[in-house]
Chains A and B, each alone.
Chain A
């Protein structure tokens, strides 16, 4: 119960952060990515501010034996570079550059009741499924 309350509250906090920093607005993202145009460095500061926070806090958090409300930390175990990491990052980068929406803001943008958000999210879910085809064809393991 407490964990669920924590989830909804921290989701709220994350959403507030996206809204305050205007990362919710695809045009603001595109203005950041357009480094040769009228560049808006805001996203860089958002990332810097967020990662400064996590770089400091995670050091202490991950020294603990376990989280406060759970039995174990569920952090990714993978630590190897692979084709799918690089190829995936390239594919995601192209998709991000086309519209200016990455998964967090895409979901959060539902709060603006725009049909574009719904189309984008449906396409994103379709993309998530395609990953299975990729693995069944190229990366049998």
Chain B
């Protein structure tokens, strides 16, 4: 557990929770990232502007923290091109079918006490753990 960063995790989680709370309180929207992205690709509507702005803010927030020198200067994306494409396709398809991802089901769905989210979260967490285990096992053969 040498990479455990509990303080940063709690502060970061709090900011994510506050962002989700205020988006619901002020604009009445759920801060679900897969939902935001999926609504964008379906025919352009004027009300999509807030989605674009939220995502621009999201990228900008990360960029500012990185540029301030406080955050990670590099991220580690491992895996081959095939793995990255497969991961992307499965993530897009799966989150759309389940109507939510780590943010929509994980943060906001649990917050709303949504029955669907209480099922979805352990299922995707469980299968992600299983996938990592399987890859590790197969590469160790």
Contact = CB atoms under 8 A, between A and B. Distances in A.
Given A33-B132, A96-B128, A21 B101 contact: no
Given A20-B12, A47-B106, A54-B20, A70 B28 contact: yes
Contact of A11 (B55, B89, B92): B55
Contacts of B115: 79, 81
Interface residues of A, number: 114
Given A26-B77, A31-B3, A97-B129, A55 B123 contact: no
B10 A26 contact: no
B112 interface: yes
B131 A57 contact: no
Given A20-B65, A97-B127, A125-B41, A104 B33 contact: yes
Categorize the interface residue count of chain B.
35 or more
Contacts of A21: 5, 8-9, 11-13, 16
Q: Is the interface of A mostly helix, strand, loop or mixed?
A: helix
A14 B102 CA distance: 13
Contact of A108 (B61, B76, B120, B133): B61
Contacts of B20: 14, 50, 53-54
B127 A15 contact: no
Contacts of B128: 33, 93-94, 96-97
A123 B88 contact: yes
A84 B111 CA distance: 22
A69 to B, nearest CB: 5
Contacts of B19: 10-11, 13-14, 17
B124 to A, nearest CB: 4
A49 B17 contact: yes
Interface of A: 3-4, 6-28, 30-31, 33-43, 45-55, 57-58, 61-62, 64, 66-76, 78-81, 84-104, 106-112, 114, 116-117, 119-131, 134
- 4 shortest A-B CB distances, which residue pairs? A127-B92, A21-B12, A15-B61, A11-B57
